[in-house]
């Protein structure tokens, strides 16, 4: 990729569709707008199903798409649904107004059942295409069984299901599957159509010259098809308790650290089968994007393990990770090219930096972290000396740049006065311009910063569980095209 610019915007935030954005016209319109304005990269968060709070970083499946993204209009256009969906659509609300996850899931339930009811009308060629696709998806059967069992068990976590299902007894599941063929067909059809629709989006992006920049969490949720069906690969006891959980140690920001609660990996088991699960997971994601951000990259070198019964992350300890082996094998799988980006934020050791640099992975620089008065601050624009970086104003976990400025102490503002063109009327574009000027090959701005929005439009605030993941572009935002054009023009000015 040549010197370029991008925008961070998750598909849930796309306008022009009920509930949230989809892999249909909302994504197509967005890509066309980017291309028209000369913006070369679309970055988004994981495309996996979210948890009960809407977070895509704690998914019930590492391999599936989020069913919320399924576009019903495209399904009707392609002959997979009847064209009478008005009664369902008329009652939907906009995600921008309020988070209504039950409503989003009710849409999925409706589409699932409708696809099954309409399936018998499909021709033999279509059915064969579907069957062939299903046979190639090693993860699909476990995913669909897990999601249906979850529904039938009132959305309880798998360790609270009847024991024969909780322990993933394959003999019992074989009998259960015979009685639930219609329900499993629905889950499979939803994932097939999501895959079809996203591959169409990917082809359009390629035709328009736009790179798709994805994201994959390091850990997976305990309450997931991945852990349920591969318990031996994770720190799970036979009684389903977690004996080692993930997190990060106490630091400047938190006296007790951060306790995430995911089971950590049993690396010895992964090594025994040449890291097959990890390699397939990365391969699945790289089928969907051009390059991929590996969240919490530092845990590939070593990870903070906290005893399962602890309530904070204080009493954890560092354990080594086989990152070098995993990256070597993934690089081999990718034909010698490793299209990964290291999320290398936080307290990063020289060993983590060496692992990143040995595999020539781009790292991340966040401008909101730069201006603390320390001339050696690695996030300062003048300290970003080579091009193998991706520079951001902020990420989905940060305040918006307008929110950051409003909360900044006056003495810190004075330290960067000479960098700001209009100090008295600061906008996010001051930080965007600074990022564009850097040597980094890629500069990315969150969409909220292009619109100069305050923290009421923040996507996520780590450590909180309310009012996250729900921000959406307003369909009444009439200056959107104007803002994208201004961003594209600035990119051209800095040869991006």
- Residue 394's alpha-carbon distances to 42, 192, 348, in angstroms, are 15, 34, 18
More confident position, 209 or 476: 209
For 12-34, write each residue's pLDDT tens digit: 999 877 788 999 999 999 999 99
Nearest to 391 by CA among 368, 371, 413: 368
Inform me whether the pLDDT recorded for 413 exceeds 70: yes
Q: Give pLDDT, residue 451.
A: 95
For 152-164, write each residue's pLDDT tens digit: 999 999 999 999 9
Mean pLDDT across 407-413: 92
Residues 6+ apart with CB under 8 A from 9: 30, 42, 43, 44, 446, 447, 473
3-state SS, residue 247: strand
Mean pLDDT across 459-484: 84
* Other residues' Cβ atoms within 10 Å of the Cβ of residue 175: 10
- How far is residue 167's CA from residue 158's CA, in Å, rounded to a whole number? 9
For 231-273, write each residue's pLDDT tens digit: 999 999 999 999 999 999 988 768 899 899 999 999 999 999 9
Radius of gyration of the chain from its Cα atoms, rounded to whole angstroms: 23
What interhelical angle do 181-208 and 170-178 show, nearest 10?
90
* Other residues' Cβ atoms within 10 Å of the Cβ of residue 87: 7
The pTM of this model reads: 0.95
More confident position, 103 or 2: 2
Residue count of the chain? 496
Q: Give pLDDT, residue 91.
A: 39
For 81-133, write each residue's pLDDT tens digit: 988 664 444 334 444 444 566 778 888 998 999 999 999 999 999 999 999 99
Q: Give pLDDT, residue 132.
A: 98
Mean pLDDT across 51-79: 94
Mean pLDDT across 457-463: 90
- How far is residue 101's CA from residue 68's CA, in Å, rounded to a whole number? 10
Give me the chain's average pLDDT, please.
93
Mean pLDDT across 273-286: 97
Mean pLDDT across 58-64: 96
Provide the phi-psi class of 155: left if phi over 0, else alpha when psi is between -120 and 50, else beta: left
- How far is residue 182's CA from residue 188's CA, in Å, rounded to a whole number? 10
Mean pLDDT across 4-12: 97
Inform me whether the pLDDT recorded for 481 exceeds 80: yes
- Residue 300's alpha-carbon distances to 157, 217, 294, 388, 423, in angstroms, are 28, 12, 10, 20, 41
Sign of CA dihedral 277, 283, 288, 294: positive
Active-site residue list:
295, 343, 397
- How far is residue 178's CA from residue 181's CA, in Å, rounded to a whole number? 6
Q: Label residue 476 by pLDDT band (50, 70, 90).
A: low
Residue with tokens 């995911």: 262
* Paired residues of 242 in beta bridges: 236
Question: Chain centroid to CA 233: how far?
Answer: 22
Nearest to 51 by CA among 341, 428, 484, 469: 469
For 342-400, write each residue's pLDDT tens digit: 999 988 999 999 999 999 999 999 999 999 889 999 999 999 999 999 999 999 999 99
In degrees and rounded to multiples of 5, residue 317 shows phi and psi of -155, 155
Q: Label residue 47 by pLDDT band (50, 70, 90).
A: very high
For 385-402, write each residue's pLDDT tens digit: 999 999 999 999 999 999
Inform me whether the pLDDT recorded for 475 exceeds 70: no
């Amino acid at each position: 990729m040549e010197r370029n610019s991008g925008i961070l915007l998750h598909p849930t935030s796309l306008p022009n569709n009920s509930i949230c954005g989809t892999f249909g016209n909302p994504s197509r319109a967005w890509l066309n707008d980017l291309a028209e304005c000369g913006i070369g990269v679309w970055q988004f968060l994981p495309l996996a199903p979210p948890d009960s709070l809407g977070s895509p970083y704690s998914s019930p499946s590492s391999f599936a798409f989020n069913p919320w993204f399924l576009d019903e209009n495209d399904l009707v256009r392609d002959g997979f649904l009847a064209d009478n969906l008005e009664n369902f659509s008329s009652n939907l609300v906009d995600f921008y107004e309020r988070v209504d996850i039950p409503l989003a899931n009710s849409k999925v339930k409706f589409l699932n059942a409708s696809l099954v009811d309409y399936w018998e009308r499909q021709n033999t060629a279509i059915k064969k295409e579907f069957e062939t696709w299903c046979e190639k998806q090693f993860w699909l059967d476990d995913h669909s069984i897990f999601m249906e069992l979850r529904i039938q068990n009132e959305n309880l976590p798998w360790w609270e299901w009847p024991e024969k299902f909780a322990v993933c007894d394959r003999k019992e599941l074989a009998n259960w599957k015979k009685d639930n063929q219609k329900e499993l067909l629905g889950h499979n059809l939803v994932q097939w159509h999501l895959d079809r629709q996203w591959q169409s989006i990917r082809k359009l992006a390629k035709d328009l010259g736009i790179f798709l920049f994805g994201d994959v969490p390091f850990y997976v949720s305990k309450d997931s098809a991945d852990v349920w069906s591969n318990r031996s690969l994770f720190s799970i006891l036979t009684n389903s308790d977690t004996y080692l959980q993930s997190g990060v140690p106490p630091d400047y920001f938190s006296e007790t650290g951060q306790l995430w609660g995911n089971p950590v990996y049993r690396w010895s088991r992964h090594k025994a089968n040449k890291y097959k699960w990890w390699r397939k997971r990365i391969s699945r994601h790289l089928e969907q994007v051009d390059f991929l951000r590996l969240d919490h990259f530092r845990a590939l070198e070593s990870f903070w393990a906290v005893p399962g019964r602890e309530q904070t992350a204080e009493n954890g300890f560092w354990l080594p990770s086989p990152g070098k082996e995993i990256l070597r094998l993934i690089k081999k799988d990718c034909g010698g090219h490793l299209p990964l980006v290291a999320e290398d934020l936080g307290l990063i050791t020289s060993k983590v930096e060496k692992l990143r640099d040995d595999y020539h992975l781009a790292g991340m620089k966040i401008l909101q972290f730069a201006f603390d008065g320390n001339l050696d601050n690695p996030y300062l624009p003048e300290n970003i000396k080579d091009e193998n970086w991706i520079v951001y104003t902020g990420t989905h976990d940060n305040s918006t740049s307008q929110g950051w400025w409003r909360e900044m102490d006056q003495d810190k503002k004075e330290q960067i006065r000479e960098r700001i063109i209009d100090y008295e009327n600061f906008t996010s574009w001051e930080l965007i311009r600074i990022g564009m000027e850097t040597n980094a090959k890629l500069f990315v701005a969150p969409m909220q910063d292009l619109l100069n929005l305050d923290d009421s439009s923040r996507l996520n605030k780590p450590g909180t569980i309310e009012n996250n993941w729900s921000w959406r572009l307003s369909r009444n935002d009439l200056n959107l095209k104007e803002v994208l054009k201004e961003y594209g023009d600035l990119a051209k000015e800095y040869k991006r």
